[in-house]
Copies of this chain bind each other. A is one copy, B any other.
């Protein structure tokens, strides 16, 4: 398949959210213009985004809400369940363990890990925290697909390596360090402080 831009994938996620709302309202069809208005983009953008994956609409009418929703689910890979582990049970990690937004989207937490013996064995949101040293073995057994890294920067690369060894093929990294990974492992960096810095920049350089 043609390469799809990151920005396109983000918008597809957005469209899916809006479609769920429209679905809940009982609307049967929706036009690219309506979807665009809801998502702060343009109708041409919506049509172009969808056209990468096929022709789902009816000319003169628009898109069938339930059908487009189903198509987007399939495109985004949300028709199956994804098994997620979280490594690092600090505040952010523990908060994510109980984040409802994950579960709603078919992401299932199958393991929580921490290197601190004081935390190992404790229960967080119904999961027993396991020792980081058991990660490779346990996570492999659980068939983990995705790992969320909420460990200190100094431990991030090691944790990532262990996750990869356990068969994880995608990482969401909250640690503020660049990770080195095999080419076939997907990576998404999230950095709260950097987001705030973006806002500080916007406030400092208005316009």
Instruction: State which of B10, B17, B197, B206 has its C-beta within 8 Å of the C-beta of A198.
Output: B10
Instruction: State which of B99, B102, B145, B203 has its C-beta within 8 Å of the C-beta of A169.
Output: B203
Can you tell how many copies of this chain the complex includes? 2
A70-83 contact mask (Cβ, 8 Å, vs B): 1 or 0: 00000111100010
Report the minimal beta-carbon distance from A108 to chain B, rounded to whole angstroms: 11
A96 interface contact, C-beta 8 A: yes
Interface size class of A (residues with CB under 8 A): 35 or more
Instruction: State which of B84, B145, B200 has its C-beta within 8 Å of the C-beta of A82.
Output: B200
Chain B residues contacting A96 (CB-CB under 8 Å) are 92, 192
* A169 to B201 alpha-carbon distance, docked (Å): 12
Q: Interface residues, chain A, CB within 8 Å of chain B?
A: 1, 3-4, 6, 9-10, 12-14, 17, 38-40, 75-78, 82, 84, 91-92, 94-96, 98-99, 101-102, 104-105, 107, 145-146, 169-172, 176, 178, 184, 186, 188, 190-207
